[in-house]
Amino acid sequence: MKKKIAIILAILTLTSITACGQSNGNNSSSKTESSYSSSDNSKSEKSSHKESTSNTEDTTLVEETTKKPESSSTKKDVSTLDGIEAAVSEDVENTISGLEKEFDSLKSEIDTYDKYLQNTSEIEDFYNKIVKTNEDVCIRLYEYALEYANIVVNDYAALEDADVIISSLGNIQLQHNAGEDRFAEFPFTREAVYQVSQELKKLDFKGILLVISNPVDAVSALYQEFTGWPRERVIGTGTLLDTARMKAAVGDDLSVNPKSVSGYNLGEHGNSQFTAWSQVKVKGQDITELTSEEERQNLFMASMKGGHKVFYGKGYTSYGIASAALRLVTIILSDAQEEVAVSSYQEAYQTYLGYPVILGRQGVAAPVHLFLSAEENRLLEESANLIRNRVQEAVAFLKEKYVNTRE
Q: What is the pLDDT of residue 41?
A: 38
Q: What's the number of domains the chain is made of?
A: 3
Please check whether residue 151 lies inside any domain of the structure: no
Q: Are residues 354 and 375 in the same domain?
A: yes
Closest CA to 274 of 341, 221, 320: 341
> Of 212, 238, 264, at which residue does a domain stop?
238
Q: What is the pLDDT of residue 396?
A: 96
Q: What is the pLDDT of residue 67?
A: 39
Please check whether residue 102 lies inside any domain of the structure: yes
**Pairing state between β 285-286 and 234-236:** unpaired
Q: What is the pLDDT of residue 405?
A: 63
Closest CA to 383 of 354, 407, 404: 354
Kindly name the residue from 49, 269, 308, 369 that is annotated as catalytic. Answer: 269
d(CA 211, CA 345): 13
Please check whether residue 191 lies inside any domain of the structure: yes
Please check whether residue 405 lies inside any domain of the structure: no
d(CA 275, CA 239): 10
> Of 146, 169, 188, at which residue does a domain stop?
146
Q: Are residues 272 and 379 in the same domain?
A: yes
Q: Are residues 9 and 119 in the same domain?
A: yes
Closest CA to 65 of 48, 78, 79, 77: 48
pTM above 0.75, yes or no: no
Q: Are residues 225 and 263 in the same domain?
A: no
Q: Are residues 101 and 15 in the same domain?
A: yes
> Of 101, 118, 146, at which residue does a domain stop?
146
Q: Are residues 249 and 384 in the same domain?
A: yes
- For the CA atoms of 154, 155, 156, 159, the dihedral, rounded to the nearest 10 degrees, stands at -110
The amino acid at residue 64 is E
Please check whether residue 36 lies inside any domain of the structure: no
For the chain, helix, strand, coil in percent to 5 are 55, 10, 35
Which CATH number does the domain housing residue 218 bear?
A: 3.40.50.720
d(CA 248, CA 124): 33
Q: Are residues 244 and 234 in the same domain?
A: no
Q: What is the pLDDT of residue 331?
A: 97
Mean pLDDT by 10 residues, the chain (407 residues): 48 45 41 38 35 34 36 63 86 91 90 88 90 87 80 88 94 77 89 96 97 96 98 97 95 96 96 96 97 95 81 75 94 97 97 98 97 98 97 96 73
Q: Are residues 274 and 308 in the same domain?
A: yes
Please check whether residue 39 lies inside any domain of the structure: no
Whether 269 is a known active-site residue: answer yes
Please check whether residue 199 lies inside any domain of the structure: yes
Q: What is the pLDDT of residue 319?
A: 81
Name the DSSP class of 30.
-
3-class SS at 267? strand
Residue-number span of the structural domain to which 114 is assigned? 2-27+48-146
Q: Are residues 381 and 258 in the same domain?
A: yes
Q: What is the pLDDT of residue 134?
A: 85
Q: Are the beta carbons of 194 and 367 closer than 8 angstroms?
A: no
Q: Are residues 371 and 261 in the same domain?
A: yes
Which CATH number does the domain housing residue 323 bear?
A: 3.90.110.10
Please check whether residue 42 lies inside any domain of the structure: no
Where do runs of H (alpha helix) occur along 77-185? Answer: 81-109, 113-118, 120-146
Q: Are residues 232 and 257 in the same domain?
A: no
CA 398 to centroid of chain Cα atoms: 26
Q: Are residues 215 and 312 in the same domain?
A: no
| Cα-Cα end-to-end distance for the chain | 52
